[in-house]
């Protein structure tokens, strides 16, 4: 096992990793920006070190400073969490080259699956189900138009290096394609420094289903059930749940089997998530693989009893998975709400000081957060301030627990998405599990009517 782990992140995921380290008897080192000098994760860690000013590029994405911090504090491993350097193949490669264990997949895994068009080509070669579209990157508007004409409109143009909904444009008709192509290309260049694009068929009202996998250093790979992430705005997830109301046992086994095949096709190691689109006829298609721990990992932990962050650390330390696929059982139902520091109507950021924070509690309620009364929500970082997670014996109990927990939760001093979550959980269609990725569009239209 490692002696000391540097946590190359901030906020709730940094707190989550530090807690896992404590339970494993491993010392932790928190790095922080000037703005986070008094942050919760800094106070929880065994040691801490400032790595730069508030701007992420100068601190949490500053690879030389992070590696220097690891050297100064004699860390033998680094956990990147999600965001920042969580899927940075170069960072993972540098860690590998200097003998510091990167707690996550290999740099080759990240590079292969991080290029979405290459990942798509690889899945096609392995005979796995993918969305109809281009077989690789498209070089021009003319090539995009030819693919679109072949597979039929609507289509979606995506950045090869994409993520978080950036570098994506839906095109409903041919005359709109040229403008969408250029817009996606410009956004991809700005967000990722990469102008590569590819085209896929765009399905109306699909489900967004993802499957959690774990793979040890010896190649044993298991799936841990699916998560339904369909409640999202502009490709940003707001609510996740497991099991999905749209997935039965047979489909769950098939999704898990394919997710494991995807991971094994690239000799994947550590935790990862394989993302699928599920159409109205319950056919599923590979979209991409996220080569990191996901924001929504707690709901999988709740229904499986498996601590994913501790397993990440154990796998990176060379330990074998103690389970076979038949050992994985899904118990009950879990839902997560992402509580963001945003205006619940316009989704504009709402930084500032939290004057009062009262988290909910009681049976089956978990809150993953790094905030407390007096915390300052910075404009420099992601707006996620807390994850509210519930677990019940079935979906009905989970819904009731989440409504109760949302009512108990108090955040004052800034605006949050709590009012929006409360309205969604009162929606009849959501309560009955009748939703798709377009749910929020209809929800807002009905709410404003």
Residue pair 196/187 in contact (Cβ under 8 Å)? The answer is no
Distance CA 184, CA 196 (A): 10
Active site residue 292: yes
Q: CA-based Rg of the chain, rounded to a whole angstrom?
A: 21
Backbone phi and psi for residue 70, each to the nearest 5 degrees, phi listed first: -65, -40
Distance CA 87, CA 322 (A): 26
**Residues ≥6 apart with Cβ < 8 Å to 276:** 208, 209, 210, 211, 255, 258, 284, 285, 286, 287
380 closest CA partner among 31, 34, 13: 34
Among all chains, which residue has been given the structure tokens 């969305």? Answer: 131
Residue pair 165/347 in contact (Cβ under 8 Å)? The answer is no
226 closest CA partner among 255, 189, 266, 194: 255
Among residues 169, 201, 207, 292, the one annotated as catalytic is 292
Local structure of 112: helix, strand or coil: helix
Distance CA 335, CA 358 (A): 20
- CA–chain centroid gap for 278, Å, is 18
48 exposed, middle or buried (CB, 10 Å; 0-12, 13-18, 19+)?
buried
**Residues ≥6 apart with Cβ < 8 Å to 387:** 12, 295, 296, 298, 336, 337, 338, 339, 367, 368, 369
Neighbours of 377 (CB within 10 A): 21
Bridge partners (DSSP) of residue 5 are 28, 77
Among all chains, which residue has been given the structure tokens 């100064």? Answer: 72
125 exposed, middle or buried (CB, 10 Å; 0-12, 13-18, 19+)?
exposed
Residue pair 13/294 in contact (Cβ under 8 Å)? The answer is no
Residue pair 269/217 in contact (Cβ under 8 Å)? The answer is yes
Distance CA 240, CA 248 (A): 17
DSSP code, position 342: B
**Residues ≥6 apart with Cβ < 8 Å to 418:** 339, 344, 406, 409, 411
The catalytic site residues sit at 292
């Amino acid at each position: 096992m490692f002696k000391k782990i540097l946590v190359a992140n901030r906020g709730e995921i940094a707190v989550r990793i530090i807690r896992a380290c404590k339970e494993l008897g491993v010392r932790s080192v928190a790095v922080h920006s000037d703005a986070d000098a008094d942050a919760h994760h800094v106070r929880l860690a065994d040691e801490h070190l400032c790595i730069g000013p508030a701007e992420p590029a100068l601190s949490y994405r500053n690879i030389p400073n992070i590696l220097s911090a690891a050297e100064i504090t004699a860390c033998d491993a680094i956990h990147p969490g999600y965001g920042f350097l969580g899927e940075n193949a170069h960072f993972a490669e540098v860690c590998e080259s200097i003998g510091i264990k990167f707690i996550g997949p290999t740099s080759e895994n990240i590079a292969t699956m991080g290029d979405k068009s290459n990942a798509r080509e690889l899945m096609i070669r392995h005979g796995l189900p993918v969305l109809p579209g281009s077989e690789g990157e498209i070089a021009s508007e003319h090539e995009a138009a030819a693919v679109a004409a072949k597979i039929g409109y609507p289509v979606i143009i995506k950045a090869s290096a994409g993520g978080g909904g950036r570098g994506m444009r839906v095109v409903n008709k041919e005359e709109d394609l040229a403008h969408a192509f250029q817009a996606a290309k410009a956004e991809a260049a700005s967000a990722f420094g990469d102008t590569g694009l590819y085209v896929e068929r765009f399905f109306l009202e699909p489900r967004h289903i993802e499957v959690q996998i774990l793979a040890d250093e010896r190649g044993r790979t298991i799936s841990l059930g699916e998560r339904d992430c369909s409640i999202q705005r502009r490709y940003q997830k707001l609510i996740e749940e497991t099991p999905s109301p749209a997935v039965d046992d047979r489909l769950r086994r098939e999704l898990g089997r394919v997710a494991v095949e995807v991971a094994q096709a690239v000799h994947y190691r550590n935790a990862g998530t394989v993302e699928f689109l599920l159409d109205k006829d319950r056919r599923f298609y590979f979209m991409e693989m996220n080569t990191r721990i996901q924001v929504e990992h707690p709901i999988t932990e709740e229904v499986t009893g498996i601590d994913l962050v501790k397993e990440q650390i154990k796998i990176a330390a060379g330990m074998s998975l103690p389970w076979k696929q038949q050992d994985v059982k899904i118990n009950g139902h879990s839902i997560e709400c992402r509580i963001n520091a945003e205006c619940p109507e316009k989704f504009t950021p709402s930084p500032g000081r939290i004057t009062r924070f009262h988290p909910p509690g009681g049976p089956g309620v978990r809150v993953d957060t790094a905030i407390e009364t007096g915390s300052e929500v910075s404009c420099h970082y992601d707006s996620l301030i807390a994850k509210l997670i519930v677990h019940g014996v079935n979906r009905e109990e989970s819904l009731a627990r989440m409504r109760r927990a949302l009512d108990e939760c108090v955040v004052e001093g800034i605006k949050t998405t709590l009012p929006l979550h409360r309205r969604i959980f009162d929606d009849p269609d959501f309560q009955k599990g009748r939703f798709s990725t377009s749910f929020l569009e209809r929800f807002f239209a009905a709410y404003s009517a």
